[in-house]
Amino acid sequence: MGGDIDFTTFRNVIGGKLSSTEQTRHGINPATGEANPEVPVSTPADVDSAVEAGLAAFKTWSKTPYEERKKALLAFADGVAEYSKELAQLLVKEQGKPSTTRYELKEEIVEDTDDRQIIVRYTPLGLAVGIVPWNFPIALGMMKIGPALLTGNTLIVKPSPFTPYCALKVVEIGQKFFPPGVLQVLSGDDNLGPWLTAHPGPAKISFTGSSATGKRVMESASKTLKRVTLELGGNDPAIICPDINIEAVAAK
């Protein structure tokens, strides 16, 4: 296992480098009420720096052969797996949940006849922003990172203010495998999302979260005609019966 990732300090990743901010904040462990470590509060200047680095990296990353991008992503996945224990512990602290995921994009030939040939081909758009919710920060973050980078885009990950810790470390790990600016992460407060969605640099926004926030993301992105993918308003209700032993179930 690698030991060069410090899981006690948390910084943005901009242009392949760890970047601190003047202001910081801390999350709360929902299970214990204890304060988690300090994380960055990004500014518009940080957004500009990340966008500039992502756009610069896109010029070469988008021209990198598919197999090389695939190789880098698989190595990145292995690199994240090396820190699975540390990330699991971090996930417990930032979410409060008790501790108890090969992707290929290829040409798809839709029709091939004597009359015509129809091919679906995935081409990179440019710099993308992945806005990740609090409930599955690693899984949903990786689901945005993989497709974006594999198709030649560069990506800025914006985690939830409530659960920024795992995303900051996953992207820090990623710096071993990708050129500077290809994969970045910005932590911040409620101002950060609107700054990113309104910025003219990104070409794509991928958002997972509430329907109300999704409407604001679409409205903001529409001003610069960004492409937007929204995954909104999922619900997973549970019925708790009167005779349940809450303490026994929570321990599992």
Q: How many CB atoms lie within 10 A of CB 242?
A: 4
Tokens representing 83 are: 């820190």
Interatomic CA distance for residues 217 and 207, integer angstroms: 8
DSSP 98-119: ----------EEEEE-SS-EEE
Alpha-carbon span 216 to 109, nearest angstrom: 37
Cα-to-chain-centroid distance, residue 114: 44
231 is catalytic: yes
Its sign, for the CA torsion 231, 236, 237, 242, is negative
Q: Do residues 180 and 18 make contact, with C-beta atoms less than 8 angstroms apart?
A: no
The pairing of strands 204-209 and 227-232 is parallel
Is residue 169 helix, strand or coil?
A: helix
Of the candidates 34, 68, 219, 231, the residue annotated as catalytic is: 231
- Token pair in block for residue 40: 């960055």
Rounded to whole angstroms, the Cα distance separating 112 from 109 reads: 7
DSSP letter assigned to residue 178: S
- What would the two tokens of residue 28 be? 């709360």
Which residues are part of the catalytic machinery?
Answer: 231
